Structure 1
Amino acid sequence: MKFHVQQALRALMLLAFSAMIANLHWTGELTKFINPKYEGLSQTAAALFFILFLVQSTTVISFSKTSHPYHPIGQACCSNHDHVHAPSTRKKWLAYLIIITPIMTGFFVPAKILDAAIADKKGGAFMITQQNQSSKIEDYLTSNEMIDENIYDEHDADPRLLEEKQEMTKKQYEQLKQRLSQQPMLKMTDEDYTIYYEEINQNLSNYLGKKIQIKGFVLKEESFTEQQLVISRFLITHCVADASIVGFLTEFPEAPTLTEDTWLEVVGTIGQTTYGGASLPVIHIDNWVTIELPESPYLYPINVRMSF
């Protein structure tokens, strides 16, 4: 019987990869790396790694005995077999180190949440202006109604036409967009944020003067006025590598006192302004509070099925 160290190490690495993915599912950290709709694929990957571990385990211990023909010193080998020189030990251990590194970071290094610094590298407010489409303002009347201090508690959440996997039919999607313009106040939850965001930017004139409630982290630009900042979120289509920045420009007197990456929940009135030559919505904030970093800080697109 012979114990093969390298085969055992390879088996352990396969088991570690399977355990790391399972741990991300168990702790809920997986959604900080990928869109939740790919959880099934990651579970499949964990299962495949475990199966490969079981297969590799069969090579760790061997019971067959192999002997090498004896050759006197200085005498050439006369057998018909080849001598294969294995790669150097240093190269092998370097390869193992490269493979083990992501396993160790996956277990012991906490996930870093994308923040304002990353948003700035991705274009910051400029990217937000590129996502907005200008629209003609028609019949816009400024509201002079007093703002109730208990506005957070007096409005029910918008009805959701969402399924468990953040999917809806094309018909449901169109119905929800039609109902948005009839809502007295828009509460942008994580589930319907992308629908609201797209609809408001494409048909801004339908929402001017309406109340809106959103949450996100503070993003600032040097070109902003002192009272301006963006309430931002990261939208993940597949994984954090393709994360894009979305959000609304806001204006309120207390903006200079807030630092970047501070999470806020705000209520305000939708207006229109121009930034970087683009027309875009602006929220004139009436009430705001600082909040803790949400358990799920990212947004994910809703899957719209083409069937009706």
Structure 2
Amino acid sequence: MDKLEVPVYLITGFLESGKTSFLQEIFESGEFADGERGLLISCEEGEVELDEKATLACKIDTVTLDEEEELTADFLENCKNVYKPKRVFVEYNGMWDPDTILSVDMPRGWEIYQIVTMIDASTFAVYLNNMKSIIGNMIKCTELVIFNRCSEEQDLPMFRRNLKALNSNVQMMFEHKDGRMIELGKDIPPYDLNAPIIDITDDDYGIWYMDVADDKDRYEGKTVRFTARIMKNRKLPKNFCVPGRKAMTCCAEDIRFIGFLCKYPELDNLKNGDWVTLTANMHYERRREYGGVGPVLYATEVVECAAPEDELVYFN
């Protein structure tokens, strides 16, 4: 691999999501006012314009791309030869396919260093309902999402759950519309964590699944009960299966099975695909199947049952 000489910072998001304002803050911070030349590749034109003083202080040259098809290896190579930047910022059009820039051959020494997605919290629910597949494409490769223009009336924990369903590793920041940062803390789940048996309803399965993956201290040693479909796999150890549900993480074309490893001594009595109500003790263990530490269910009772009316689960 070529030595990283020119880091490429990819800033994406829909029009008017705050990308330009974010870049303005970066350039005004003085972090990049070190005398090295930089290049900004702008892929759309919003209402906010960069302050020329900030770009001059950071020695930022700007080029504009109007069409996605123009983003080619030849274009980037020409940028390298003409501007000779030591760092590159790409203000990416949120309606363009992220794979366009992620798959293009970068000039020697160039490499995407960080991907940040800006989201306007005031319009996010509308986009989520109507353009979830496009949001999914953006989030799947993002390292950091910054929600701006947040308010107390918005269901920010729901925003977080939906993005975690799309990319479990994504980090998120929430900025109030007055500029201060909002610390969400832990979600309060819609079920009783202190009950002898935590009953997980069909509607709450997605919330439980995300919370279990994120917060082992809440669930270590707990007993849970939920309805799931049994999935067997020859690659799993004897008496192990994965009880779970199908989830729509992005769109109708992006449905996947989600569940956790489970040990049940009488697994031979069940067929692959059976619907069951399962009661199990939860423990977190280092497992090859997870590639690290993950939740393991130890079933104490398994009762066959009918499939739920809606087999899909959601993360709202």
Into which bin does the TM-score normalised by the smaller protein fall? 0.3 to 0.5
State the TM-score, normalized to the length of structure 1: 0.40
Where relative contact order (Cα < 8 A, 6+ residues apart) is larger, the structure is 1
Larger % of strand: which? 2
Highest Rg: 1 or 2? 1
Larger % of helix: which? 1
